[in-house]
Amino acid sequence: MERNGSVIILTMRYKDAQAAIEWLCSTFGFEKHLIVPSENETIAHAQLKFGNSMIMLGSENHNEFGQFIKTPKDLNGINTQVPYIIVEEIDDHYRSTVAAGARIVLDIKDEDYGGRGYSCQDPEGYIWNFGSYNPWV
């Protein structure tokens, strides 16, 4: 069955969501779309845009939904899902990410299936894949 207009949005929890938002924007180029603060300097909900895509994130909590979510720090650095983000100017993005101090876990390289990409880790241990390979074109 075809699902016209379907959109997938990654959701994440951070121990320090405020710091994560600033880091993701300054390092990767996300833009703040909506930030909903909560008590004790936490974030109830945030939406960050990247081109025509978006992620949603918030502070780690133990509410009904939060009980099912763990951070890489809770899992000894293990990630169970990793986003892939398409970037046309991948070499420029890589250089700015390195300059911002992100930990590169897989250096930039040409892929056998096309495109070029790299993987890095944010300060809370989430792994991010960036690449120029676009499976839609």
Name the strand (E) or helix (H) holding 50: strand 43-50
Topology classification of domain 81-137: 3.30.720
Neighbours of 42 (CB within 10 A): 16
Per-residue model confidence (pLDDT) at position 65:
85
pLDDT tens readout for residues 17-63: 999 999 999 999 999 999 999 999 999 999 999 999 999 999 998 88
Fold match between domain 1-60 and domain 81-137: yes
Nearest to 93 by CA among 56, 119, 57, 123: 119
Tell me which CATH code domain 1-60 carries.
3.30.720.120
Per-residue model confidence (pLDDT) at position 56:
97
Higher pLDDT, 127 or 6: 127
Average pLDDT over residues 70-88: 93
CA 9-10-13 angle, to 5 degrees, is 135
Average pLDDT over residues 74-81: 92
pLDDT tens readout for residues 10-25: 999 999 999 999 999 9
pTM check: above 0.75? yes
Nearest to 18 by CA among 37, 34, 2: 37
Query: Which ranges constitute the DSSP H helices of 54-119?
Result: 90-99
Going by DSSP bridges, is the β-strand pair 127-131/116-121 parallel, antiparallel, or unpaired?
A: antiparallel
d(CA 71, CA 75): 7
Residue ranges per structural domain of the chain: 1-60, 81-137
Per-residue model confidence (pLDDT) at position 2:
54
